[in-house]
A and B are shown apart, each in its own frame.
Chain A
Amino acid sequence: MKQFNDSSTSTNWILDEEFLKSTNLQRENLLFSYIDEELRYKIERFDKIIAPLDFNKRDFELESLSIHKNKFNELTKKIKARITFPNKMQRWKGQVIDIQKQTFKAKLDDLTNSGTYEIGIFDKHDIPDEIDLLKIGAVFYFSIGYDLNNGQVQKVSILRFQRIKPIDEHIVDYVADNVASLDIQFD
């Protein structure tokens, strides 16, 4: 039970779903428990009653067992696919400084080891669903690293443009009206 004014996170969670809350071993047990009972019943029934008596039913039961097996494999695959934890990541904040036909250039500030910046060139094909956000000055986040995917290490890179609430018009007007009174010299 959370105390009043407790802003800590609830557990040392990773993902919130029932399957993913549990450890690997618990996950496997949970999966097996779904199919185990029915499957065991069917195998017992097949061995003891149907197999010796009815060949048509026997084929049907065999098919049914095979469907269960496939379902189990699918479910396992689906769950394994989601047990993906980004492990080591290098993160940058980028700002677009030039746009060409196929590529765009950006200044990258290192968010992992701050204090340095680099210039990077990116392919427009890498941002098919964010091309409308590509403008000079646009900010994006770029990360490269390794994912730990159910014990397997994979290289990943993620580029995502910043999506924020636009500055209110009255604030822009206020700044425009008052900028002359500020003693700022631009290069």
Chain B
Amino acid sequence: MLSENLSEKLQIRTLSIVLLGDFNPVIIQPFWLAQKKLIKEFEAESAKVELVHNEICKFDLGWATFEITKRRFEMKTSNQAFFEPIKDLVVSMFGYLGETPINSMGINHVFHILYSNSERYFEVGDNLVKFPIWDGIINKPKLLAIEILEPDRTEEFPGSIRVRIEPSDQITPFGVAFSINDHFTIKKSDDGRHGEIMNALKSNWKTSFDRVDSLMTSLYEKL
């Protein structure tokens, strides 16, 4: 759960699920999803299909967008009301496509935070990277982007956590985007064809939100 201070400054929260493996992009299309009763029929009819090709399939259901290539599946939403439905949809889709080998997954949380003025905005950068090292090298140094990795998750599923902080491309001025990649991989002994990653998604869904909310709250308070 996010702190009250953070909730107040949070302007937009988005979520994406990224899967890495071997996919057949042309299978996953709006009418296939409707035929499996995973979305409403009118959603399939009104879906905005940008591209269907052997190499890439890209469409927008209005509440979620899909981009599927042979190596990468990404589904994302910028509407918090659909966070749970996108998880259900991914689990059900790969329940039907059970043989699809999937070896990694990212549950990506993006927070767009609005800071009150330019002083506070630049202070965030100063707090993330102390600048004295640049004295005499660069005049008035400003932080553009930073990425921090926690390399080894010490839980059932191997993986990592990566935090990227950069100016928000949606909240201007003084908006900062915090992107948190909660990354899971299969164990070396697994082949990814037996629903390992879907099990990781189901069993880590709530944990991922708790972990990320706690991380964001602590980080925000320190900045």
- Decide yes or no whether A1 CB sits under 8 A from chain B: no
CB neighbours of A17 from chain B (8 A): 60
Contact B60 A85 (CB under 8 A): no
Contact B106 A86 (CB under 8 A): no
The CA of A24 and the CA of B76, in the complex, are separated in Å by 21
Contact A164 B81 (CB under 8 A): no
Beta-carbon nearest neighbor of B12 in chain A: A85
Distance (whole angstroms) from the CB of B83 to the closest CB of chain A: 7
CB neighbours of B184 from chain A (8 A): 7
CB neighbours of B105 from chain A (8 A): 7
Contact B76 A9 (CB under 8 A): yes
Given A14-B170, A164-B92, verify A89-B104 contact (CB < 8 Å).
no
The CA of A93 and the CA of B76, in the complex, are separated in Å by 20
- Decide yes or no whether B151 CB sits under 8 A from chain A: no
The CA of A11 and the CA of B74, in the complex, are separated in Å by 12
Contact B65 A15 (CB under 8 A): yes
Distance (whole angstroms) from the CB of A11 to the closest CB of chain B: 7
Please report which residues of chain B, range 1-23, place their CB below 8 angstroms from some CB of chain A when the two chains form the complex.
1, 7, 11-12, 14, 16, 18-20
CB neighbours of A114 from chain B (8 A): 1, 206
Given A12-B179, A87-B12, verify A129-B42 contact (CB < 8 Å).
yes
The CA of A182 and the CA of B93, in the complex, are separated in Å by 31
Distance (whole angstroms) from the CB of A114 to the closest CB of chain B: 8
Cβ proximity bits A104-146 to B, threshold 8 Å, 1 near / 0 not: 0000000111100000000000000110000000000101010
- Decide yes or no whether A23 CB sits under 8 A from chain B: yes
The CA of A34 and the CA of B19, in the complex, are separated in Å by 37
Q: How many B residues have CB within 8 A of the partner chain?
A: 55
Distance (whole angstroms) from the CB of A15 to the closest CB of chain B: 6
Contact B81 A86 (CB under 8 A): yes
Please report which residues of chain A, range 134-171, place their CB below 8 angstroms from some CB of chain B when the two chains form the complex.
141, 143, 145, 148, 156, 158, 160, 162-165
- Decide yes or no whether B84 CB sits under 8 A from chain A: yes
CB neighbours of A129 from chain B (8 A): 40, 42
- Decide yes or no whether A45 CB sits under 8 A from chain B: no
Beta-carbon nearest neighbor of A15 in chain B: B78
Given A7-B104, A143-B80, verify A163-B74 contact (CB < 8 Å).
no
- Decide yes or no whether A41 CB sits under 8 A from chain B: no
Contact B11 A87 (CB under 8 A): yes
CB neighbours of B85 from chain A (8 A): 141, 160, 162-163
- Decide yes or no whether B221 CB sits under 8 A from chain A: no
Cβ proximity bits A85-111 to B, threshold 8 Å, 1 near / 0 not: 111110101000000000000000001
7 A-B pairs with least C-beta separation: A7-B106, A12-B177, A143-B81, A8-B181, A165-B92, A89-B80, A9-B108
| Supplied contacts A12-B179, A158-B81, 13 more A-B pairs, CB within 8 Å | A5-B20, A7-B105, A9-B76, A13-B169, A15-B65, A16-B67, A23-B172, A24-B172, A114-B206, A130-B40, A141-B84, A163-B85, A164-B95
Residue contacts A-B, CB under 8 angstroms, 7 given:
A7-B181, A9-B110, A14-B12, A15-B60, A86-B80, A163-B88, A165-B95
Chain A residues proximal to chain B, CB less than 8 Å: 2, 5-17, 21, 23-25, 85-89, 91, 93, 111-114, 129-130, 141, 143, 145, 148, 156, 158, 160, 162-165
